Amino acid sequence: MNDNPENDSWLVRPGSIRLLWRVLWAVLALTVLAQLLIKVKGYFGVDDWIGFGAVFGFLSCLAMVLVAKFLGIFLKRKDDYYRVEDHDD
Amino acid sequence: MTEFLPPALILIAAALLIGPARGHLRSAIILLAPLATLWAIWQVPDGVITTATFLDYQIEPVEGSALRRLFATIFALMAFVGGLYSFRQARWYELASGYAYAAGAIGVSFAGDLITLFLFWELMALFSTVIVWCGGTPEARAAGMRYAVMHLLGGIILKVGIEGIVIHTGSIDIRPMLATNFDTWMILIGILINAAAPPVSAWLADAYPASSPTGSVFLSAFTTKTAVLALILLFPGETVLIWIGIYMIMYGIIYALLENDARRILAYSIVNQVGFMVCAIGIGTQMALNGAAAHAFAHIIYKGLLFMSAGVVVYRTGKSKCTDLGGLFRTMPLTTICGIIGALSISSFPLTSGFTTKTLISQAAVDEGLVTVYFLLAAASAGVFLHAGIKFPWFVFFQKDSGLRPKDAPWNMAVAMVIFSALCIFMGVFPELFYQFLPYATDYQAYTPGKVVFYLQLLLFSGLAFFLLLPLMKRTLTITLDTDWLWRVFMHRLADFASRAISLAGAAIAAGATAALAKLGAIGRRHMGMSPARDHRGVFARTWPIGTTALWIAILLSAYLLVYFVS
């Protein structure tokens, strides 16, 4: 392990992570702006709005993560759960 | 050509020879047998090629069609690349089982009748169980047993359905049907169990991650995809499949999001991807069935690739939990890149095989005007990127520095991963070359600028969601309960409860009986007029003095003599 991140791989240096975030935001903006030039064929009315794919993708993921979190409250167990149970018999 | 040996026999022969063969001969068998099978598969023309008589039934072991050749091809290809991936690392019996398992899948692909289908189906169940056991740990043994029980149960249900069809229609032909009566429902349920459909999806994520790093590569390919083929052949357009498929898609995403074990994440995403295919079969149009077949083909490649990259990690580090892994990209660049290519393909990123095959299914939903299905599929595509496309490579190869510095893949594993990575990209870049092998002719255009922009938005913003929501996705040392809890825990508790209840009831009955007997005895003694002080026993139970007996005998004899003389 490296104590000083500057000696570690380029990918994990704080400077490069900041750069990668900026690139990500730029690419995201580009994909939405591309819709000004390229017509996205909507099939069901709403899906040809500008940025529909972006909003829909983001909100779907948010919803799925929250649903997973919520179900996790009831369904998550320690990962030795079955090992302990199996010793019962 | 009238008589044609089933191509599956080549792999069965190879499976038998792998054990006795040694050294280079064994390697040659492992690498050449799938290629010979591939050649044989492409010699099979359309229509019923071979017939035979089995228990008075006219069976058709080899029936060719574009769809059947497509599935058999990918199964043989998987056997080849899987064999290449594992021949220097896996034990010989795991490889032999893997080849017998692949032979089962190819046999099912060409099965012209329900009896042949069933025989090869069971061959798969048998040898896939052996592969799970090859994991070698106590967990693998237990998971293999649960796996075997589940698949034997599925086999019995399928057999009940097949026998019903044979009795009621007199025909063992494989032809499209709908789930309208008991027989057809039994067949559908039997197949769906192998497809890891609800409510028994749990067998997949239970068994596959328990196998060895090489075993899981074989397991990921055959069972669920032969089920997909069987559904295409038997139940195209059965609308209940649309909703079963959607459920599987969402189940896979949710459980994979909660999961900590890297290989189990991939196992859940098999259920998710098979859900796309099952949903397409439910839609049932030519476009949809093309989509299901194409997606199965692409899926075997990228899922095999993902399990290979995870397998290399397990092989090199012995760890598969996200909490133990991270930062491996430093010393495993090739495995990382191949894992990322597999992850992008499963997420149907443009220029990968997932994009050119999964969009066929979405297009089929559009063509049929299925608004809800279309939007759910789109949301699911975003979810796939979230749970498999980013989560898997991020937590295994990046996130924190785990301090692990394992070597990259051994050469044969590396070559296998490169072949599959190349295929993922090749199918993504030249879809038309692949579309010509689909069951129905299509002029579908995979790449239109609008579609690419839509999917880039959908996927990249899912990526944004992943990194913004990372705090919510912190890995914990947990598992997630599934329906298998019912038979792994609840049944035990029920049995415990029942045995405790029975023993309690038994004790109560025994106590009651003792009390009743005591009371009866008291009544008896009172009425027989005996003093409990003199003798507790009844009149006939007492021991009598020998003299009394002798006296009685003397009296009887005298009486006899008296009667004799008088008469």
CA gyration radius, chain B: 33
Closest CA to B354 of B427, B447, B445, B449: B427
Q: Check whether A88 has a pLDDT greater than 70.
A: no
Residue B157 neighbours by CB distance under 10 Å: 19
Confidence bin at B290 (pLDDT 50/70/90): very high
> Is B254 close to A67, i.e. CB distance below 8 A?
yes
Alpha helix locations (H) across B400-448? 411-429, 431-435
Check whether residue B296 and residue B224 sit in a common domain. no
Q: Is residue B374 part of a domain?
A: yes
Q: Is residue B446 part of a domain?
A: yes
Residue B495 to residue B509: CA distance in whole angstroms: 21
Interface residue B145 vs chain A (CB under 8 A): no
Mutate to test the interface with B, among A20, A61, A67 (most CBs of B within 10 A): A61
For chain B, what is the mean pLDDT? 91
In this prediction, residue B543 carries a pLDDT of 72
Number of domain units in chain A: 2
Confidence bin at A4 (pLDDT 50/70/90): low
Check whether residue B209 and residue B271 sit in a common domain. no
Check whether residue B409 and residue B319 sit in a common domain. yes
Residue A44 to residue A29: CA distance in whole angstroms: 24
Closest CA to B101 of B122, B84, B124: B124
Return the structure tokens found at B46. Answer: 């359309």
Check whether residue A86 and residue A48 sit in a common domain. yes
Partner residue facing A77 (CB), from B448, B469, B481: B481
> Is A65 close to B260, i.e. CB distance below 8 A?
no
Check whether residue B261 and residue B197 sit in a common domain. no
Phi, psi of B20 (to 5 degrees): -65, -30
Closest CA to B61 of B17, B106, B12: B106
In this prediction, residue A1 carries a pLDDT of 46
Residues B171-228 pLDDT 10s: 889 999 998 999 999 999 999 999 999 899 999 999 999 999 999 999 999 999 999 9
Q: What is the mean pLDDT of residues B409-424?
A: 94
Using DSSP's 3-state secondary structure scheme, residue A3 falls into: coil
Residue B95 to residue B86: CA distance in whole angstroms: 8
A79 near B260, Cβ under 8 Å?
yes
Residue B406 to residue B549: CA distance in whole angstroms: 97
In this prediction, residue B531 carries a pLDDT of 55
Domain range enclosing B28: 1-229
Check whether residue B162 and residue B305 sit in a common domain. no
Interface residue B416 vs chain A (CB under 8 A): no
Residues B430-448 pLDDT 10s: 999 999 999 998 888 889 9
Return the structure tokens found at B12. Answer: 């069965």
Check whether residue A31 and residue A62 sit in a common domain. no
Phi, psi of B478 (to 5 degrees): -135, 160
Residues B228-247 pLDDT 10s: 999 999 999 999 999 999 99
Q: Which of A69-73, B422-426, B474-478 has the lowest mean pLDDT?
A: B474-478
CA atoms within 13 A on the CB side of B432: 4
Q: Provide the residue type at B148 as one letter.
A: A
Return the structure tokens found at B238. Answer: 């059965």
Interface residue B458 vs chain A (CB under 8 A): yes
Residue B262 to residue B114: CA distance in whole angstroms: 37
Of the residues B201, B229, B257, which one is the last residue of a structural domain? Answer: B229
Q: Check whether B547 has a pLDDT greater than 90.
A: no
Q: Which of A24-33, A80-89, B302-311, B465-474 has the lowest mean pLDDT?
A: A80-89
Residue B178 to residue B172: CA distance in whole angstroms: 16
Check whether residue A44 and residue A77 sit in a common domain. yes
Check whether residue B212 and residue B283 sit in a common domain. no
CA atoms within 13 A on the CB side of B41: 28
In this prediction, residue B544 carries a pLDDT of 72
Q: Which residues of A12-29 are buried (b: 16+ CB within 10 A; e: fewer)?
A: beeeeeeeeeeeeeeebe
In this prediction, residue A87 carries a pLDDT of 47
In this prediction, residue B485 carries a pLDDT of 87
In this prediction, residue B29 carries a pLDDT of 93
Check whether residue B299 and residue B173 sit in a common domain. no
Q: Is residue B565 part of a domain?
A: no
Q: What is the mean pLDDT of residues B105-113?
A: 94
In this prediction, residue A89 carries a pLDDT of 42
Check whether residue B253 and residue B123 sit in a common domain. no
Would the CA dihedral through B163, B168, B171, B174 be positive or negative? negative
Q: Is residue B169 part of a domain?
A: yes
Closest CA to B252 of B387, B142, B82, B73: B387
Q: Check whether B368 has a pLDDT greater than 60.
A: yes
Check whether residue A44 and residue A12 sit in a common domain. no
Higher-confidence position of B49 and B415: B415
B364 near B444, Cβ under 8 Å?
no
Q: What is the mean pLDDT of residues B297-317?
A: 95
- HEC string for B309-376: HHHHHHHHHCCCECCCCCCHHHCCHHHHHHHHHHHHHHCCCCCCHHHHHHHHHHHHHHHCCCHHHHHH
Q: Check whether A3 has a pLDDT greater than 70.
A: no
Q: What is the mean pLDDT of residues B520-537?
A: 68
> Is B492 close to A88, i.e. CB distance below 8 A?
yes
Number of domain units in chain B: 2
Check whether residue A3 and residue A34 sit in a common domain. yes
In this prediction, residue B48 carries a pLDDT of 86
**Which helix (H) or strand (E) segment is A73 a member of?**
helix A52-75
Q: Provide the residue type at B165 as one letter.
A: I
Confidence bin at B126 (pLDDT 50/70/90): very high
In this prediction, residue B3 carries a pLDDT of 60
Q: What is the mean pLDDT of residues B336-342?
A: 95
B396 near B261, Cβ under 8 Å?
no
Q: What is the mean pLDDT of residues B245-271?
A: 93
Residue B146 to residue B482: CA distance in whole angstroms: 14
In this prediction, what percent of chain B has a pLDDT beyond 70?
97
In this prediction, residue B472 carries a pLDDT of 85
Check whether residue B49 and residue B122 sit in a common domain. yes
Q: Check whether B118 has a pLDDT greater than 90.
A: yes
DSSP secondary structure of B135-195:
T-SHHHHHHHHHHHHHHHHHHHHHHHHHHHHHHHH---B-----S-SHHHHHHHHHHHHHT
> Is A27 close to B254, i.e. CB distance below 8 A?
no
Check whether residue A33 and residue A64 sit in a common domain. no
ipTM associated with this complex: 0.88
In this prediction, residue B1 carries a pLDDT of 43
> Is A61 close to B473, i.e. CB distance below 8 A?
no
Residues A54-72 pLDDT 10s: 999 999 999 999 999 999 9
Check whether residue A1 and residue A19 sit in a common domain. yes
Q: Is residue B67 part of a domain?
A: yes
Cis peptide before B199 (omega within 30 of 0): yes
Q: Is residue B437 part of a domain?
A: yes
Q: Which residues of B403-422 are buried (b: 16+ CB within 10 A; e: fewer)?
A: ebebebbeebbbebbbbbbe
Residue B77 to residue B221: CA distance in whole angstroms: 11
Q: Is residue B541 part of a domain?
A: no
Q: Check whether B282 has a pLDDT greater than 90.
A: yes
Q: Check whether A2 has a pLDDT greater than 80.
A: no
**Minimal CA separation from A43 to chain B, in Å:** 7
Q: Check whether A6 has a pLDDT greater than 80.
A: no
Domain range enclosing A19: 1-38
Of the residues B206, B229, B252, which one is the last residue of a structural domain? Answer: B229
Q: What is the mean pLDDT of residues B9-22?
A: 92
Check whether residue A6 and residue A30 sit in a common domain. yes
489-548 of B, contacting A, C-beta below 8 A: 489, 492, 496
